[in-house]
A and B are shown apart, each in its own frame.
Chain A
Amino acid sequence: KQEVTQIPAALSVPEGENLVLNCSFTDSAIYNLQWFRQDPGKGLTSLLLIQSSQREQTSGRLNASLDKSSGRSTLYIAASQPGDSATYLCAVSRGAGNMLTFGGGTRLMVKP
């Protein structure tokens, strides 16, 4: 059974810092890995999707890497801003399709 773990569970940083969120998964047989953002009481917004054959994806200040063999992914946020405050979730897709197994999330607070 796939298990996804995110470390740290919570993170508080001053504005402007570069930061790294970590995600690990136990079964390397994944189709893709996705990072999401969830604002309090809201649905999820997809940030980045990395196919199993890819090593990284970039969107603006966000960069996600994938090391499938070691079961790890990182989300790098450059020059953090207060608007980045949210919970960040990683999820892996097993088999065909988007049946996702989610990690518990990292709750990020960026202080002005």
Chain B
Amino acid sequence: SQTIHQWPATLVQPVGSPLSLECTVEGTSNPNLYWYRQAAGRGLQLLFYSVGIGQISSEVPQNLSASRPQDRQFILSSKKLLLSDSGFYLCAWTQGGGTWGSGNTIYFGEGSWLTVV
């Protein structure tokens, strides 16, 4: 069966420090991968998605970046965190195979709580 792992679960970082959140998927190959953010009092917002290694699309301009160094690994990074980066970050995946699966269920990780102080 497929599973998705996301870490760290929680972290508190000072303003201006770097960030690295990691997500891995097991039990499938060539998944479509996503990073979402849920800020306090706001809905879930898509940040990045990827259909393959090295292929990253950004939905919103910000000081965050994403990378996909391996097929089932998705990393969210920042060189210098802002207070506004605080929130609940969720990684997700769907069946891929190089094509979009509009009918595929999306599976979310357990999330990472980031507090920037």
Contact = CB atoms under 8 A, between A and B. Distances in A.
A19 interface: no
Given A41-B113, A98-B32, A104 B101 contact: no
Contacts of B106: 34, 46, 98, 100
B32 A43 contact: no
A104 B106 CA distance: 18
Interface string A67-105: 000000000000000000000010101011111111111
A98 B108 contact: no
Interface residues of A, number: 27
A42 B101 contact: no
B24 interface: no
- What is the predominant secondary structure among interface residues of chain A facing chain B? strand
A96 B103 contact: no
Interface of B: 6, 32, 34, 36, 42-46, 49, 51, 59, 88, 90, 92, 94, 100-111, 113
Nearest to A101: B46
Nearest to A6: B43
Nearest to A97: B100
28 contacts: A4-B43, A32-B103, A34-B105, A41-B88, A42-B111, A43-B6, A43-B108, A43-B109, A43-B111, A44-B92, A46-B108, A49-B103, A51-B102, A89-B43, A93-B102, A95-B100, A97-B32, A97-B51, A97-B100, A97-B102, A98-B100, A98-B101, A98-B106, A99-B34, A100-B44, A100-B106, A103-B43, A104-B42
Contacts of B100: 95-98
